[in-house]
A and B are shown apart, each in its own frame.
Chain A
Amino acid sequence: SAVISQKPSRDICQRGTSLTIQCQVDSQVTMMFWYRQQPGQSLTLIATANQGSEATYESGFVIDKFPISRPNLTFSTLTVSNMSPEDSSIYLCSVQEGTGPPQHFGDGTRLSIL
């Protein structure tokens, strides 16, 4: 099964700055997903990233705020831009093997904005 390395594991950032989160998978996967988990809430899908194409964003999320790169089949990044305290969340990377649900998740990045 796929093993996902996500970093940083946590960070404390200043308002107005940007942070890039990296997700590395130990095998080639077609689809990678980025989720946000706000305090006390469930996971919300931000976007789906396929290699070689633009990421597909869910309602309420835009590329200018959450640009995503997917340069190859084992790696993706999510940038949280111009951060505000409302962006304080856990951000998770997930992959799908074959078809079906996301089966493997990274350990998440705990982000706090002051």
Chain B
Amino acid sequence: GDSVTQMEGPVTLSEEAFLTINCTYTATGYPSLFWYVQYPGEGLQLLLKATKADDKGSNKGFEATYRKETTSFHLEKGSVQVSDSAVYFCALGTGNQFYFGTGTSLTVIP
């Protein structure tokens, strides 16, 4: 069945470091891919999405490119800030079916 596999955390980075959180997927069709973020004490928020191969989603300095050849959707940010500390979830959607990864906790230290 469809699924996503997400890099395990926790991840701790210094401010201004480069961030990569890996996400790979398994799907029988042509899914859309998403990254959600959950800041401490808050609900999940949609961070970015890509609906077809080679699409790049971007928001708040974060980027992820839908790579069909490697079945990946890695999240990247060139320079993280303390305010980026949160849990990040990769997700796959086909129609109204959505599958979430287990989440990766990121802590950015000053």
Contact = CB atoms under 8 A, between A and B. Distances in A.
Interface of A: 4, 6, 31, 40-45, 48, 92, 94, 100-108
Contact of B98 (A41, A101, A104): A101
Contact of A101 (B32, B41, B43): B32
A103 B49 CA distance: 11
A44 B97 CA distance: 10
A104 B93 CA distance: 15
B42 to A, nearest CB: 6
Given A42-B89, A48-B96, A104 B102 contact: no
B45 A101 contact: no
Given A42-B99, A101-B46, A102-B46, 7 more contacts: A4-B43, A42-B102, A43-B89, A92-B43, A101-B34, A101-B91, A101-B93
B45 A104 contact: yes
If over half of B's interface residues share one DSSP class (helix, strand or loop), that class is named, otherwise mixed; here it is strand
Nearest to A101: B93
A103 B101 contact: no
B88 to A, nearest CB: 12
A31 B95 CA distance: 13
B102 A45 contact: no
Interface in B19-52: 32, 34, 36, 41-46, 49
Nearest to A94: B44
Given A42-B89, A42-B103, A43-B89, A105 B44 contact: yes
A107 B42 contact: yes
A103 B100 CA distance: 13
A106 B43 contact: yes
A104 to B, nearest CB: 7
25 contacts: A6-B43, A40-B102, A42-B89, A42-B99, A42-B100, A42-B101, A42-B102, A43-B100, A44-B100, A45-B98, A92-B44, A94-B44, A100-B32, A100-B93, A101-B34, A101-B91, A101-B93, A102-B46, A102-B98, A103-B46, A105-B43, A106-B43, A107-B42, A107-B43, A108-B43
A33 B103 CA distance: 19
